[in-house]
Each structure stands twice: as C-alpha cells, then as structure tokens.
Structure 1
Amino acid sequence: MNQDLLSKEMSSQAGGENKQELASGNGKAGTARNPISRLFDFISGVFTSILPALIGAGIIQVIASVLLYLDLHSNFKIFTIVMYIGGLVFYLLPILVAVSAAKKLGSNIFIAAVIGGCSFFPGLTEMLKSAKEISSTSLPVAEPRYISSFILILIAVWLAAKIEQGLGKFNRYAIKLIIVPTLTLMIIMPLLLFVFGPLWTKLAHTLSEEFSSMFFFNGEVVAGLLFGGTLPLLQFTGMQYMMINDMLESIAAMGYDYIAPVIVAAVMAQAGAAFGVCIKSKNAKVKVLAASTGLLALLGILEPAMYGVNVRFKKPFFAALIGGAIGGAFMCFFETALTALSGLFGLMTLPLYTDSTLVYAVLGIVISFVTAGVITYFMGFADEQEEHSKGATASGISTASDLVVEKSANS
C-alpha cells in the first residue's frame, strides 16, 4: 500500500480530517479535535461494520430466550443449536473487532485476526488458566477473558499498524512478506500476553475486591451508584462480569443477589439513551437504528445500542452512564434482589426478582430508562442528516460522504 494513502487513511479514520466536520462547516483538522471525541469516533467506526452481525445474533438470542421462558423448546437439541448460533457472534467478537480496527487503520486484517483470536487457542488458554507453566518462568499471568477485552485488542492492533507503517517505508517485497508479519507478531503477542493482559487482570481483581467490599459490607448505595454508572466502561474493558463469582456465591449462600439488578439498571439506561436518540433525531435511518438496537437493549442485548448508537453520538453514552448510576443506586437503596441469574440482563429478568422487591425492580428499570432518555433528548447530540445527492453508492448503501452533521438545537 502506498505510504501516503496509508497515512491519509489512518488520519481520516482515527480522527483526522473528518468529512462530517467539513460538511458542518467546521473544517478544523482532526488534531485540533477533542481526543476523547476522536476516540469515540474510532470505537464507533470499528463497531459500525460489525453492527449487522451483532443485531442479527442479538435477535436470535432473544428468540431463544423467549422460547426458554415460555417452555416452548420441545426439541432441546434444536434449541441448543439456536442458542449457539446467537452466541457465536459474541464469542468471536474479539476477532471481529480486531479485523474491523485493522481495516480502519489500513493494516493487515489477518495479522489483526490472529491478535484478536489469541485467547481462543486451546493450548494457550489451558496454560493461562493453569498458570503453572507460566509461573515457572517468573512471567506475570493473565486470564484469557481479560486478554480478549476490546480496549486491549484495539491497542494491540493500533501498535501492529504502527509497526507495519514504519517497516513499510522499506519498499522491498521481501521485507513486507517476511519481516513485517514476523516482527509484528513477535512484538505484539508477548506484549498482549505478558504485559497488557496481566495488568488488566490485576486491575480487574482489584476493582472486584473493592466493589465486593462495598456491596456486601458497607456502602451498598454507593456501590450501586458507581457500578451502575461505570458498567458500560467495564464492558468495553472486558471487566463487566468480573463480579460473576460474587453473584453466584450470593445466590448459592442466601438464595438471592443484589449485584445483578444493578447490571439490569445499567443495561436499561443504554436502552433509554438509544430511544432518546430515536425521538430526537430527524434522520429516518438513525431512528430505525436507535429504535431497533434500543429494543434489543431492553431485552438484554447491550452491545448494538451502546456501540452502534450511544458511543457513535457520544452525549447519549454519558446520559446512559448517569441513568445507570441513578438506577443502580435506587436498586441498592431498596435492596432489590434477583433469585437467579439470567443469560440476558433485560426485561426478562422480571420473573426472577423476589416478590417483595419486584415493584422496586420495575421502578428502578423505569428510572434508569427514563433518566437516560430524557437527558439524551434535552442535552442533544450531533445528529446526522442524510444528503440526497448523486453521492449515493451504486449498492444503495450510504458512505461517509453521504452524511452531513447537523447540530441539534440543544447540543
């Protein structure tokens, strides 16, 4: 690939000169933009291409869960296959994220796929889980689930792109064919396995211990406020289920759990923010996207609404953090409890609440949803208005140049 073209692609996709900004009359170079805004744009762009697969898999998972709740899965094998089909996309999501990020950065997508899939290799995962072979070499140990966190994958793919870009200056075929992939894997993989991964594992354990002490010993409301307000961030870092063992132990020991309702509140807040975008936006395509992903979030499929809508428009994501924090604090204040864990933390958890706390669960869900939706609506966001011009692609799918940014009145 031509080096100038690669540089332009990386600058454009990761926050350089953005066509949406130019259409809105801003015209500033990407380097002058807020780094947080640039990061959100990059993350949203990575997940945009994966969104159809996420939505399709989410719908299949919801259908399977409904059949399970209604006890309509007469043929258990067929039901299990349907569940596997729905879960396959989410299982392979680290690889999909890595490939999508590599496409945006203009680097080798197959090297990125290897980076994203390193935690799936059976021999490696067994070694990481046992930690015996690694401990004997005095290397720090990482848990496979934290190695596959989205933030670490994006960092690793970005570093791989930098290495490829640097070595690409040597315009020799042998270097590009042999040296670039070999050196990239030999640098990136050890960093991911023995530097980033262990640091992330240590951080996850520390956060888990802190939250556990607040939930089970003191400060339950504060714990609900913090956990509910940061769960989407933990989702992106791969730490969203770091307290799953505490939840299972609580149900086994006492028959109920106080943490799971906070997760439900955070998911409902993401749904509320998405519906806020649906009501506020004047773009028909954005309305359809926000409504469909918001409905999936209501049923417990968080990723499409969070990455496809709320992160994309930025302000709704922060509105969802506020809604999840308030809803989580409410759930903990009234000691809302679930008697069992569900695969999807959505509305289908309602039959699982204790009879004495069901009303508070409903109120907590409503508070999270409405708070995020109202804040999104009144705070506003940078809406996208489709430009009906000759710029439409032959396939009928809009490109970045077909969209212009129109600031809403309250943004």
Structure 2
Amino acid sequence: MSVSKQSVQQIVEAIGGKDNINRVAHCVTRLRFSLQDEDKVNVDELENIDLVKGSFSSNGQFQVVIGQGTVNKAYEVLLDVTGMDGSSKKEVKEESAKKLNPFQRLVKVLGDIFIPILPAIITAGLLLGLNNILVGEGIFFDNQSIIDVYPQWQGFSEIVNLIANTAFTFLPGLVGWSAVTRFGGSPLLGIVMGLMLIHPSLMSANEALQQEVIPQWDLFGFGVNQIGYQGQVLPVLLAAYVLAKIEGFLKNRVHDSIQLLVVAPVTLLLTGFIAFIVIGPLSLAIGTGITDAVMALFGNYGGLAGFIYGGINSLLVVTGMHHTFIALDLQLIAAVGMTYLWPVRVMSNIAQGSSALAMMFVTNNKKLKGTALTSSISAFLGVTEPAMFGVNIRFKFPFISAMIGAAIAGMVVAMNGVEGTIGIGGLPGFLNIFTQFWGVYFLAMGIALIVPFVLTIVYAKYKENKENNSKTSSSNKNSKKQAA
C-alpha cells in the first residue's frame, strides 16, 4: 500500500502540528509520538484519515495505528514532510517517561524488563502445551495419554518438555540480562548474576522452605543460607538493580587501564554477597507472602477474584499495568508449578476480540469494518491493543461489553480452580491449560465469545433505534411547526 504525503501531512496537523512533536519513532504497526501537549490532538480528525486505523495514549506516548508494513513507509514520509530526524523507540520512551509519575515509571520499568523476554516465555508455554497434549490422559483415549498408547512418542515428549522447561528453569538468567540492560549495566554481567543465583550447588528456595535445617556458609561466624532462587523473579530484579549501580559507580572511578581487571570482578563479588546475605532472604519472604496471598484469594474467593481480575484486565492493558502481573505469574509458577492468573487473563483477549468482531456487523463504515475484522483476529490470537484502541474504546460500549463478558468468563475459570502456565493468549490459550481443566475452560471461552458479541450487537441496535426515534420525533415537531 502506497502512502501519500497528503495523508501524512493530515496526521501531523491532527496531532497538533510539527511544533507539538518532540520525538517520533515506529514499531511494527504504530507511529509512536512523544508530544509536548496531547490536549492539542484532534482525535476525531485523526481517526477520519484513511491511513489511520486507530490511536491511543499509553505510558506518555501518543500512538497512531497504521498497520504492518505500511507504518514503515508512513514513518519515512513523515520524516520527509516534517524535516525531523528519526528517533529510536528507546529515545521516544525516554522522552515520554519525563511526563510519568513515580508509579507509572515503576510500571514502565517492569514492562521494559519483561517485554524483551516474552518471546522466550511464550514459546516455552506453547511447547509445554504441546507436551500437555502428549501426556494428558483422556484427551484422545479413555484414561490414557498418547504416549501410553504409542510409547515410541515418549522420547519425543521428554525432549519437548526439556526444551519447554529451559526458559523457566533458567529464568533468572533471562531476567538478569533484561533487567541489568534496562538499569544501564552490562548485559553479560546480568546473565552471570542471574545464573549465579541458580547454581546447581545451591538448594532451591522451594525445597529450603520445607526443610528444618538448611546448609549454610560460615562467613566469619555469620551463617549465610546456601539457597538458590530457581524460577524466582524478585531476587534477580533487586540484584540486577544493585549490580548496575555498583558497576556504574566503579566505571566512573576506576582508571580505563585497569577497568577490565577491577570493575566486573568487584561488581559481581559485591552483588553476590549482597544478594545471598540481604536481597535473597528478604525477597524470598516477600515473594512467599505474595504467593500465599494469591493462593488464599483464589482458594477462598475464587469466583469473586476471577470476576474482578477478568473484568479489569482490559483496564490494566490501557494503563500498561498488565506487564506487572507477568512477574506474579512467573512467581506462582516457580513456587507452586502453575498460575491461576493467566487462564483468567486469556478471557479478556477473547472478549475484546468478540466485541470488535461484533462491530464489524453493526457498522456501515467500510473502513471500520476492515479495522474491526483484522483487529478481532489479532485479539483472538492474544494481541488486544488494535481491537481495544482501534475499535472498542472509540465507541465505549463494545469495550464495556467485553469487560462484562471477560468478568463472567473469568469467574467461571476461577470458581473451578483452573490451573495453567504462562504462554500465548486468545483462542490458542487453551494449550497452556492443564488438560484436566479443558472442559470447563472451553465453556468459559464460549462465554467470553458469546456474551460480548451479543451485548455489543444488542446495544448497537438499541442505540440505532434511539437515534432513529429521536430523528423521527424531531422531524414530526418540525412538520407541526410548518403546518401551524
């Protein structure tokens, strides 16, 4: 698809002109702007431009949805039209972050850390889903699994399971790399630090919690527990921050000629001692408390917890806070081998896609029909932003309908104690659900599909009839006046 200068110029004018743009970059589908004043944006004018499929503001950035492939051309034309220099996504993020409050900055930091490792986590979740199909009893055969009936598949299943579990087993290494990079340190040191916390010679944190006597190092008369933090998230996050700060401090003070001999060794040494003596025990206690609280909440008030979490998940996506729950999912998986949260969250993906799909049937706008169809497919595959920001939020009632459907479906999921792992969302999300829960999960998915679709269409028809009645009433009044 070609991109005209006129369309791009219209976008620039609709967002307040060139002078309102601090920086601009692009991702796979969107132009990302850091604006001086978002109040100057004319959203109605912007979204009436043929090139634009939707827009939204998130984490201090104003984002204009263009579409995959086309956005690259639009970005090049925009730079030509405005005479601006291109910026990286990182530069736009840094510029936009200046407008955020401390809580928003914390949410953004967690997002910056976990988004880069999501491909590995999602891949691991999908492979675990494949293994669930191979080892799950009663899926294809009565009280038997595929490998029970066809033992020759057992080796294949074991290799798939090993590959799938690698990302979760060495999770601190992934988080260490991403977190230290985000905090301005050396990624390689972050990997080493993360792997250091799960060294094979250390007793796992989960095992240590069940032991009366824990092996200790004698550090000049002070006992330090020999505990590793396999699958834990909080210890490596805090240790990564400490490592980056220590490394930065040393780099600014150690002469270049001996930095290689001093900075990395001293940084790892100090971080290691701080991690095992202070950070590890403290964060393990906090992580255990959070895990126990979530387990108790879903164990005692599952229906209510699922209803609330399913209902508000879309709002969490709008604010960017949904990324913080990835850490909680990973913490639960590390502690108890499953999570209650991800299965509920998937209901929100499906519900938003269903509402967007319903809008395709009720609107007469050809552009909106196309946007609704493509964005609903995206949501059904786990990416809800195009459906939410391109369609549902624009008209409000589809967004609310999706929240209602997701809340009801989430309640069904949580009431039945559905367990799973983290992975892909949307309709393929059942692959991350333990097979014994598939029946009730498919029921919940049906609710998430049907309820938002019906509510959206019913309200759209009600709104249309109301507008028609209003026009008829107004026309009758005018006729009476003319007759008089």
Of residues 208, 211, 229 in structure 2, which corresponds to 1:144?
A: 229
Q: What displacement does 1:64 show? A: 3.7
Q: CA deviation at 1:63?
A: 3.7
Check the 8 A contact 2:121/2:168 in 1, yes or no: yes
Q: SS at 1:24's partner residue?
A: strand
Structure 1 gaps, min length 5: 1-16, 248-258, 298-304, 375-411
Kindly indicate whether residue 171 of structure 2 is the aligned counterpart of residue 162 of structure 1: no
Give the Å deviation of 1:167. Answer: 1.8
Task: Note closer, same or farther for the CA distance 1:61–1:337 as it changes in structure 2 (3 Å cut).
Answer: closer
Query: Structure 1's 88 and 219: CA in aligned 2 closer, same or farther, altered over 3 A?
Result: closer
CA contact (8 A) 2:185 2:247 kept: yes
Question: In structure 2, what is the equivalent of residue 265 of structure 1?
Answer: 344
Shift of 1:331: 4.0
- TM-score normalised per structure 1: 0.57
The equivalent residue for 1:401 is none
CA distance in 2, matches of 1:158, 1:203: 17
Gap change, CA 1:133 and 1:243, over 3 Å in 2: closer
Contact 1:106–1:161 under 8 Å retained in 2: yes
User: Residues 216-235 of structure 1 correspond to what in structure 2 (within 5 A)?
Assistant: 218-225=300-307, 233-235=324-326
SS of equivalent residue, structure 2 residue 197:
helix
> How large is the RMSD of aligned CA atoms in angstroms?
5.3
Partner of 1:132: 214
Inter-partner Cα distance in structure 1 for 2:347 and 2:167 = 22
Q: Which residue number in structure 2 is paired with residue 329 of structure 1?
A: 411
Between the aligned partners of 2:164 and 2:175, the Cα distance in structure 1 is: 17
The equivalent residue for 1:26 is: 35
Q: Does 1:352 align with 2:436?
A: yes
Which SS does the other structure have where 1:189 is aligned? helix
1:240 maps onto 2:341 in alignment: no
Identity of aligned residues (%): 21
Structure 2, unmatched stretches of 5+, are: 1-21, 37-94, 141-145, 314-321, 361-366, 394-398, 424-428, 455-484
From the superposition, tell whether residues 321 and 34 of structure 1 become closer, same or farther in structure 2 (CA, over 3 Å).
Answer: farther
Q: Which amino acid aligns with 2:348?
A: A
Q: CA distance change for structure 1 residues 208 and 170 in 2, over 3 Å: closer, same or farther?
A: closer
Q: 1:61, CA displacement in angstroms?
A: 3.8
Q: Aligned ranges for residues 161-180 of structure 1 at < 5 Å?
A: 161-170=244-253, 172-180=255-263
Deviation larger for 55-64 or 318-327: 318-327
What's the counterpart of residue 192 of structure 2?
114
2 CA distance for matches of 1:290 and 1:196?
44
Question: In 2, are the aligned partners of 1:143 and 1:201 still within 8 Å (CA)?
Answer: no
Contact 1:102 1:161 in 2 (8 A): yes
- Structure 2 CA distance, aligned partners of 1:188 and 1:167? 13
Name which structure has the greater RCO, CA cutoff 8 Å, separation 6+: 1
Q: Please, what TM-score do these two structures have when normalized by structure 2?
A: 0.49
More strand by percentage: 2
Give, in angstroms, the shift of residue 81 of structure 1. 1.0
**Which shifted more, 195-204 or 60-69?**
60-69
Over 3 Å counting, the alpha-carbon distance change for 1:225 and 1:205 in structure 2 is farther
Deviation, 1:93, is 3.3
For 1:293 and 1:89, locate their aligned partners in 2 and report how far apart those are by CA, in whole Å. Answer: 25
How far apart are residue 91 of structure 1 and its match? 2.9
1:13 corresponds to which residue? none
Aligned-partner Cα distance in 2 for 1:194–1:321: 45
Q: How does 1:8-407 map to 2 (within 5 A)?
A: 19-20=24-25, 24=33, 26-27=35-36, 30-69=97-136, 70=140, 71=146, 74-125=152-203, 129=208, 132-134=214-216, 137-139=222-224, 144-145=229-230, 148-149=232-233, 151-170=234-253, 172-214=255-297, 218-225=300-307, 233-237=324-328, 238-241=330-333, 244=336, 263-269=342-348, 295=381, 327-332=409-414, 335-336=415-416, 346-348=429-431, 349=433, 352-353=436-437, 358=439, 361-367=441-447
The residue type paired with residue 113 of structure 1 is I
Q: CA deviation at 1:363?
A: 4.5
Secondary structure of the residue that 2:416 maps to in structure 1? coil
Given residue 244 of structure 1, which amino acid in structure 2 is its aligned partner? V
Deviation of 1:326 (Å):
5.4
